[in-house]
Each structure stands twice: as C-alpha cells, then as structure tokens.
Structure 1
C-alpha cells in the first residue's frame, strides 16, 4: 500500500517538480553566491577603487540585507494575490537586469549601491518563493490523502478502524501519514546547496577564463556578469513556463492585484472554493499581520519561523565568521608572511590576497561543513517526516549546533595539521554543517506542515470523527450554507477545509519566514562583528550557540504542548 501510494507524495506534475528543484531552488542561491563573491573584484578592477574597498563591500552587503528584510514579506503577500509562478519569474528577471546594470556603474555611490539594491529586490523574491512553492507542490497530495481517509472512515466504521483512530494510527497504512513537504524539504536543501556549487564551479571562474582569451580584467568581469544575467533570464522563463497550473493557484493573477472583494472570482466554483478565494482577497495589511500573528498562535509556524532565524544566521556564521576567525588566528600568531594586513571588514577576497594560507584553511573548513550538509539534507527530510509531532530531527540539529559552535569558539586554533593542529576540527565543522542543514530542512518542513495544518497532531482524523457533531455545525458556519446534500461525506469536507485553512496565506507566511531569517543575519553580523573586535574572535560562535539553544528550548516546549494536546484528545 505504501509503495503504491508513494508517487503521490509529489502531486505536482513532473515538470513542475523538476522546475522547482532544478531551477527555483539552486539558482536562488547560485546568483547570490556569485555576486557576494565577485563584488570586491567589481569594486577594484572595474570601478578602480582601492582605498576603502572593505568598507564599500560591507556597506553594499548591509544595504542588500536591509532591503531584503522589508522586501521578503511584501513579495510573500504579493504572491498570495498574483501567484508564486509570477513572483518567481519576476524575481529572476529583476536579478538578470540588476546583474547587467551592476557592471555599468562607474562609482560606488550611488550607482553600484542602486544596482545592488535592485539585485536584493529580485533575490528576496526568489528566496521567499523557495519557501512558498513547497506547500503548493505537496498540498494537494495531503488533502487527497485526507479526503480518501475521511471518506473511508465515514463509509466503513469498523471496531478495528475506530481503535486505530483512537490510538492515532490510521488502518489504511503509512500513505495517509506521510508528509510530502517533509520529504521534499530534504531535496530542497540538497539542491539549494548544489546551487552554491554551481556558482563556485561555473560562475566564479568565468572572469579568469575570459582573461585567458585576451580580455582585460574589467572586460572579463563585465562579460561574466552578462553571461550570468543571461542564465538568470533563462531561469525566469523556465519558472514562468514550468510552474503553470500549480494546485491552489487557480484564480490568482494580475486581476487579483487590485481586488479587495471576497469571492468575486468564484462564480463557477463550489461554496468551499468560494470561501477559500474569499480568504485570498483579504487586504494586504491583514495578510501580513495575520502571518506575523500566526508565529505566536500556531506552534508549527512559530517553530518554523525560529528555525528560519537560526538557519540563515548559521549560513553567515559558516561563510563569513569562520574565514574571519581563521584569518584572525593567522594574523595574531604571526603565521602570515605577507607584507600587508587585510583591511577591516574585508571579505574572503582580501584574506586570500593578504594571507593565502589562511584562505586555503578557511576554504577547506567551510568546504567540509558544506559537503556534510549536502549529504545530510535528504536524511533530515526523511527523518522529519517520521517525527512530525515532536520534531526530533530539528531538536537534534539545534543541540548539535549548541555543541558545535561552543566547541569552535573554544578551539585553541583552527589548524588540522602541524604541531599545534588537531584533526578534531573536522568533527566540529561536520557538526556545524549538520546543524545548518538540519535547521534549513526541518524549519521548511515544519513551516509547510503548519501551513497545511498537519504535523501538529497526528490525531486530526480521530478528533474530527469524535467531534463530528461540532464539525457539522462548524462546516455550516464556515461555508455559509446548509445544503450540501445528504450524500456529501461530512468528514471529507471537514478534513479538506481544515487542511486548506492556511494555504491562502502560504506566500505571506513564507515572507515572514524570510523576514525572521534576515533578522537573524543582521543581528549576528552586527552584534557578532562588533563583539569579535571588542571581546574575542569566538564571540559570534557563542552567539550562534545561544540561538541554537533558544531553538532547542522552543522545540522542546512545542513537543510537550503537542504531547499534552494528544493526551487531552485521547
């Protein structure tokens, strides 16, 4: 039975699923890695700024994150009106235009800054859609399973079936208990990581390859940006074509952008669809405030938001502060033989120039971390599906993060060879990679399950059956009518309505999820960067240990509340 129903885990068409996994997910990361890694070369080789380069790069990055903080929720709210497909296509098109304009700049302020802000606008759109598309791809499968289970429960209520429901197990097998979002989220993490590899292995070597054929450094950088911009435009077209006719996206489009009246596009739909479309047309501000408030009222969504906060902060801790800590160790230990010191707040490019040995070590350490993360991503997706009530994989990831970041902060030195080296640093880096990918995959899965109203409680069908008298009245109230006919399956209607309840807000919720992630980045970079100089080089990692500790406590509290809910319902 489970094998027969496994293909239904991805009820989006094969083309839609492949578009999501092979285009939307990896390239949302690939273009960001490319611009972050190459911006210093644009500043020095293209614009010709050599004094204050570090400050310019830092300011551009800070402005990017600040705009993304505001733009992500707005893109999410907009996608609830016009659809995730349009926002994906627009986002990648904006990235393409921004990359072209970026290398037309002749000064840092305002031209390069405006180009980076335009890129941030497109990047925030596609990163938010990575989260928003996930429940869209898998939501129909979940409701179809619930529909079949509820019809079966109503038509054939046997003692064995009733006992199974009362114990939180459905006798029809694992198919009704599978969480498509949890399993797919593991692949989302895997392909997003592959996007970074595409950038490092294909995009970033482009300037050097163009220089080999005789172009000047400035022209090589320009041509590289043009080529990457062309790829971004191709991905925009692929998203526009490949994400057509997604489930739950009916009635969304440019007309809905200005519509504030409920149900106006549901003339030929049934009453349940009318209620659904009516919710989609709630005012923009109410969509956003509702998504924010859900973080305090829905345990799964709250845990997902907190996981997103830690996940995004983890990516910065590994990509920024580990190289910075390695460089700091080499400088204070006198291991750099170069004549000049790196500038404050400079990126990896300057570390590479000032202290190649530190750059090599930082690259090895971060590479090990990301490799372990890629390998662990599918496993976290699978395990999250098996522990939806207590979210054990997320708790494990948070605990591993506490241990790993504390261990790295207390390391006497980051070297793995030599008289003072210790190969145990690789174990620490593996822990950091596991923590990062665990937070990413599990937070996406928990959030998506919260949107689809599963995972909080595996006893949903049992509770609906036990409360069918209440559900009958509730369905009547929510749907605004009383005549669905004697043959309409009551439980099917109740389950379907319950599981759809937050689907109309998936974009807004995804936007707030990205907002939490952006806040995590800003807090860590600002507080961690300042305390790095004032206190010690281990401070950013102690902060990350605290973040993971908060996530661990939040997850434990949610698990306890879920267990109590099960006990009360039992």
Structure 2
C-alpha cells in the first residue's frame, strides 16, 4: 500500500519521512553551523586569553588548525558518506556530534598548538560526518521538486545557528566575567557549554532521524568501493560542477568564520583600543550581520533553485561571491560603513553557494549511491577549506588581511566561467522517476 506524500512547511517529502524526522533534521542544521561558527569565531579569544599566543602568529596558527582539521575531514568524509549508504544516516550523525562534543571539551585544555591540532582533528572527523549527512538527508527527505525549498529552509537554519553563535555564545565570556570569573575560566566554561550542547544533539539525532529499513542497507560493495563510485561519478558534468562549487562554497564558511573574525578582532585590539572580549563582541556583531543576510537570503535562493535552471542559479551565487569577496581588498576600516555593504553581499553569496550547489548535487544523484556521491561532494568542500586555509593564512600574515577573501573571490570567478562553459551540457536527472523504476528491482534483489 502506497502512502500519500506528505508536506512539511510546503516541502513534499518522500514516503516514510515524518514531521518529527524533518524537525530533527533542521535542528541538526542549526546545531552544525552554530558549533562550526563558534569553534572558528572563538579562536581569537582562545589565542589571547587562554593560550597567550602572540598576535603576529594568529594567522599562521589559524591556517595550521584549519589545514589539519581539513586533512581529518578529507580522510574521512568520503568514507562517512559511503558508510551511511550501508549502515544508515542517523548513526553517522550521532557519532559526528559526539566527536564534536569531545573536541570542544578538550580544546581549551590544550597546552600547545600541537595539542590544539590534535583536538581540531577530532573535531574535523566529527564535523565531516555531520555535514555529510545534512547534505545527504536533504535529498533523502525531500522530493526533487521541493529540494530548493528544503535547502532554503536549511539555509535559514544555518543562518539562525550562526547568528545564535555570534550573538549569544560569543557573549558568554563577558557575562561570566561580569559575575566574577577570570577570563580563562570564562572561556573554558563557554567551551563546556557548547560541548554539552553537541552531545545533546547527538542524542536527539539518534532518537529523531528516520531509521533505515533493511532494503536500504542491501549493499554488497565495500565502503571503499562505494567511495570510488563517488569519484567516478564526476564524469557527469553536473556532478563535476557541483564538486567544484562545493570547493568554493564550503571555503566561504571557514573564511568568514575564521579570518573575518580574526581580522576584526585584531583591528579592535590593535587600532580601536578594545580589550579581547570587547573586540570579539564587535567582530561578532559584524560577522552576525553576514549570517543575518544569509538567513534572509536563504528562502530566495531556495525558491530560485526550484524555479529556474539549477546551474543558472549556481552561476548567480558564484558571481555574487566574486563581487563580495574581492571587494574586501578595498576596505581600509573594517568597522566602517563600506565593510557593512561588503558583509551583506558576502552573506548572500555564502548561503547562495551552499544552497545552489547542494540542490544541484541532489538533482544529479540517485538514491542508491547518494551517500557516496555526496561524500565526495563534501570532500571537495573540505579540500577547498584546506587550500583556502593554507593560502589564506599566508596571505593574511604576509600580504593583506583581505587576502583570504580575495583568493576565494577569484576561485568563485574561475568556477563561474567553467559553469558558463558547461551549462548546456548538464542534463537534469529525474531522481524520483529513476528511483520509482529501480526500487522494485532493488527490493526484490
């Protein structure tokens, strides 16, 4: 007996996906970006108040942490995606948030940059699992005609998570110090709170995400073989373009979260006469503006990807990224009005890239190998973060503090030009039709 498709906030869902499953999924979206934003945005406070790292080394340390964190992601994200095709999404999601909780608890107790790198690697393995499952679950839960709306709502949740991290979590040290805590204890307590939150989300994920039936687990290929299927899938022009777009869009998140906060915090303490917590609060407000624009822009990009050609929607997001990120080169006062305009554009480009690339990759995959393909999609994003972290860290310290942003803007331009060249070669794969044709055979196998 076929169950009629249900709607969740206007999103047409696949059979067997409940409202509770969808709500839990969107809670994980809020939490993932909240925790990811926090770990990057709070690092200037960690460097200054807890570890006493000299300001001249902040760019290099940030680049090192991002580099090794992304190495951990690269080493595991493809396997997480392939493994999820075999054992299910919610187990991977729960493991991911548990590892993030462990890393956040350990982070402020690092005695050296080397220990910090180790803890960042634990975080990297955990965030790889969680983010890979989020992109996969959009495709699992929403039918193709509604994936733009589903991704738009996901983008709104991303913006909500980032704004919460910047406006609420980053202000906790000030509150704790006002109650008599030392700067070190205030920082450690803030890390402990975020670690506890991550562990709670791990439990919620296990309880609330959809359980996979045995037919969905009927895979005989090894996890490595399935990961290789994701790499070979790049022969499809649409998948290859989505992989390249992921390189840019995922790097966007790290560049904004890590280097913009660092740029603004350093300016506040070095040029504006602020202490570390005051500068972090000011930086958080400006970065939060970018995330607020992402929150407001998410529905627009979500609807856009359902209304027009999805490659065209991606090209629009990439061009906005090019304009926004390269414009930072002309900023002389990062607390001034020009920066506000640039931050608004960056916020829109950030969410646009995430939504349009995510919907494109979902459109180009089928259910059988979706986890493997999206694992490589996230792997490409991890490589983007790694490359931008290393090059961005060097440019930040040795050229200009806008360097990481200019680099990403130029990468966006390169992918935009490639997208123009292949746009006519990307054909839409009707996932729902294919799945309807293949499911009976698969079930009988």
TM category (shorter chain) comes to: 0.7 to 0.9
2:299 counterpart residue number: 378
1:219 partnered with 2:138: no
Q: How does 1:183-202 map to 2 (within 5 A)?
A: 183-202=149-168
| 1:366 and 1:429 in contact (8 A); partners too | yes
Aligned mates of 1:93, 1:45 — CA distance in 2: 27
1:290 partnered with 2:229: yes
2:20 counterpart residue number: 15
| 1:56 and 1:108 in contact (8 A); partners too | no
| 2:49 and 2:183 in contact (8 A); partners too | yes
In 2 relative to 1, CA 87–291 (structure 1 residues): closer, same or farther, beyond 3 Å?
A: same
Aligned mates of 2:180, 2:267 — CA distance in 1: 39
In 2 relative to 1, CA 233–537 (structure 1 residues): closer, same or farther, beyond 3 Å?
A: closer
Q: How does 1:32-431 map to 2 (within 5 A)?
A: 32-42=36-46, 45-46=49-50, 54=58, 56=61, 58-105=63-110, 107-108=111-112, 111-138=115-142, 141=143, 179-245=145-211, 249-251=212-214, 280-295=219-234, 297-322=235-260, 336=271, 353=275, 360=282, 365-388=286-309, 391-409=311-329, 411=330, 413-414=332-333, 423=337, 425-431=339-345
In 2 relative to 1, CA 125–450 (structure 1 residues): closer, same or farther, beyond 3 Å?
A: same
1:158 counterpart residue number: none
| 1:405 and 1:432 in contact (8 A); partners too | yes
In 2 relative to 1, CA 326–243 (structure 1 residues): closer, same or farther, beyond 3 Å?
A: closer
Aligned mates of 1:91, 1:505 — CA distance in 2: 21
1:156 counterpart residue number: none
In 2 relative to 1, CA 209–535 (structure 1 residues): closer, same or farther, beyond 3 Å?
A: closer
SS in 2 for 1:205: helix
Shift of 1:513: 1.4
CA RMSD of aligned residues (A): 3.4
Aligned mates of 1:230, 1:324 — CA distance in 2: 26
Shift of 1:216: 3.6
Shift of 1:310: 1.1
* Gaps in structure 2 of 5+ consecutive residues: 430-445
1:561 counterpart residue number: 425
Please list the CA deviations of residues 214-252 of structure 1 after superposition, one character each: whole Å capped at 9, or x if unmatched: 44443333333333222212111110010133xxx322x
Aligned mates of 2:239, 2:67 — CA distance in 1: 28
In 2 relative to 1, CA 386–328 (structure 1 residues): closer, same or farther, beyond 3 Å?
A: same
| 1:100 and 1:225 in contact (8 A); partners too | yes
SS in 1 for 2:76: helix
Bigger helix share: 2
Please list the CA deviations of residues 481-505 of structure 1 after superposition, one character each: whole Å capped at 9, or x if unmatched: xxxxxxxxxxxxxxxxxxxxx3122
Count matched residues: 421
My pick for the range that moved more, 182-191 or 73-82, is 73-82
Aligned mates of 2:170, 2:331 — CA distance in 1: 33
Shift of 1:378: 0.9
Aligned mates of 2:275, 2:377 — CA distance in 1: 37
| 1:336 and 1:357 in contact (8 A); partners too | no
Aligned mates of 2:6, 2:108 — CA distance in 1: 53
2:443 counterpart residue number: none
1:450 counterpart residue number: 364
Please list the CA deviations of residues 361-420 of structure 1 after superposition, one character each: whole Å capped at 9, or x if unmatched: x556534332222111111011101123x53221111122223334333x2634686xxx
Task: State TM-score, norm by structure 1.
Answer: 0.66
In 2 relative to 1, CA 220–53 (structure 1 residues): closer, same or farther, beyond 3 Å?
A: farther
Shift of 1:533: 5.1
Aligned mates of 1:221, 1:532 — CA distance in 2: 25
| 2:67 and 2:389 in contact (8 A); partners too | no
In 2 relative to 1, CA 367–414 (structure 1 residues): closer, same or farther, beyond 3 Å?
A: farther
